[in-house]
Structure 1
């Protein structure tokens, strides 16, 4: 069960690596615009803001990777904190931006969090 928790934490981290790439590198491209449903004009106007969001998602990745690499007792504490941050950010995004964020960000984080806490 512990291994499943670690796989799920890694999956959440990988999802956020992809979000970082979309927000920081691909925001203005057709792929980035399609992912976020934006126009070329909007993407140009908001590129700096998107890169800033990407940076914050990068911090979530760093925290999740730290949790994966940390030994006990720190591991579950770091993973719990950063998975909770991801879930809260996903809830806020679902309310303010798109309900799709709930499925992409919140659900995987909550599932990983449940397994991490169950194996504590």
Structure 2
């Protein structure tokens, strides 16, 4: 289960790199506006806030990669950052869009469960 947990953790990290790119660089571009269902006016008005949010997603990705680099059986750092992703996903689902629960929190919860069961 450790291998599968690490693979899913890596996928969660990649997902957060994708969020970083969308929020920091593509927020007011067609791909970013489509992903978040925004108009150009709203995207331009919230661009700085989105970039800040994207940076935090980058920190989550970096922490997960750090945990993966520590080795297959060292779960502490991975568990911490997966927990952070879960909390962020639940908060996002409560405050922004229920979809965040399934896109962000659920994959992290699956990875965390697999790592803890290993």
Shared fold per TM-score greater than 0.5: yes
Which stretches of structure 1, 4 residues or longer, exceed 6 Å deviation after superposition?
none
Query: Deviation of residue 71 (structure 1)?
Result: 3.5
Aligned to 1:94: 93
- Equivalent residues in 2 for 1:52-71 (5 A)? 52-71=52-71
Query: Deviation of residue 82 (structure 1)?
Result: 0.2
Aligned to 2:42: 42
Per-residue CA deviations over 1:14-65 (Å, capped at 9, x if unaligned) read: 1111100000010001110111111100100111110000000000000000
The whole-number CA distance in structure 2 between the counterparts of 1:93 and 1:3 is: 29
Query: Deviation of residue 2 (structure 1)?
Result: 1.1
**Matched residue of 1:117: which SS?**
helix
| Runs of 5+ unmatched residues, structure 2 | none
How many residue pairs are counted as aligned between the two chains?
118
Alignment RMSD:
1.1
State the TM-score, normalized to the length of structure 1: 0.95
Aligned to 2:20: 20
State the TM-score, normalized to the length of structure 2: 0.97
